[in-house]
Amino acid sequence: MTNLFEIHACDLCGSDDGREIPVTRRYFNDHPLHVCGDCGFVYVRERRSAERITNDWSNIIYGSGYVPRLPAIVARHVYVAEFVAERIGLNDRSMCDIGAGTGQFLEIALRPEYSAIPFGIEPSTKNCQRMAEQGINNFCGTIESYISKTKLTNHGYSIATLLWTVENSKSCRTLLDAAHDIIDDSGHVVVATGSRILVPFKKPLHDYLGLYEGTETPDTHSFWFSANSLQNLLEISGFEVVHVNRYIDTDYLVMIGKKVHTSADTVRHHDNPNDVINYFERWDRDTHDHFPKA
């Protein structure tokens, strides 16, 4: 490790008791992945600056190994749109997608069956151009720069979405705090992720972990959520979790939180760190038993 990295405590509970998950080094170019010894949150402890991580996503990952319009990725966006429309409605509601990528989800939200009013925040210039070509208003930059430059205390969005985005940042707390800032007092946040720690695994571990093509460090995907840890994140960021999908049936974990005026002082939903470590050990073993080339 060089001074390129900064060591982080647990983003949820603040504990410095970060326990390494040993089997994950083989998937991370010998970099470690940690689990919090107090609350069980899984996170990359050694991270570069937010600017470096954002640059990787904007200039390396997009257009190389990560293609957001693959059928599997379209399917998960449609799944989220259906879930949100069913639970809280999308019709004529203003929606801000933080880390909007090429705007694929917002294009889906524009369909007549949903009829949302979309806006995208995205640091990649090419992706913002793509959204503009589709008639989607957007801001090119990070959510922090958007809030700073617009200088509004309440941006008034009805829904903020973070879809497979919150895990790809330096600070998950910063993103949720920003989402809290830009929605109105009765607004909702929607967070979707593919991480489902402690849920029976459906894919080899190298397809769950592993480094993106062109990158050498795992901090482009800094966080790995269980249902417990994702609920903790929403609660300590000022959201009451009101809807959760049946993640046991799918590869997706989706939570909808309603904005409240008070945040949880401490995490309330713990995972046992030893169970988490054992879980990854079993997953690694099964990966190598059933996928010989892993």
Q: What is the pLDDT of residue 2?
A: 47
pLDDT of residue 148: 86
Angstrom distances, CA of residue 55 to CA of 123, 208, 233: 8, 22, 25
Domain contains 10: no
In a domain, 76, yes or no: yes
Per-10-residue mean pLDDT, the chain, length 294: 78 97 92 96 90 75 61 92 98 96 94 97 92 95 88 77 92 94 95 92 85 77 94 97 95 96 92 98 92 66
Could you tell me if residue 135 is inside a domain?
yes
- Residue 103, domain extent: 50-270
Interatomic CA distance for residues 188 and 71, integer angstroms: 27
Is 105 contained in some domain? yes
Buried b (16+ CB within 10 A) or exposed e, 252-278: bbbbbbbbeeeebeebebbbebeebbe
pLDDT of residue 202: 79
Place of tokens 């480094």: 211
Q: What is the reported pLDDT for 108?
A: 96
Rounded to two decimals, what is the model's pTM?
Answer: 0.91
Strand 34-36: give its sheet, edge to edge. 18-20, 34-36, 42-43, 223-224
CA distances from 77 to 64, 108, 262, 293 (A): 20, 8, 30, 31
- The full length of the chain comes to 294
List the CATH number of the domain containing 188.
3.40.50.150
Query: 31 in a domain, yes or no?
Result: no
Stretch (H or E) spanning 165: none
Q: If DSSP codes are grouped into helix, strand and coil, which group holds residue 292?
A: coil
Residue 142 covered by a domain: yes
Identify whether 30 is part of a domain: no
Domain count, the chain: 1
Q: Give the pLDDT confidence score for residue 262 in this predicted structure.
A: 87
Place of tokens 């640059």: 55
141 domain-assigned: yes
pLDDT at residue 66 in the model: 53
Report d(CA 294, CA 288) in Å as an integer.
6
Vertex 33, ends 17 and 74: CA angle to 5°? 130
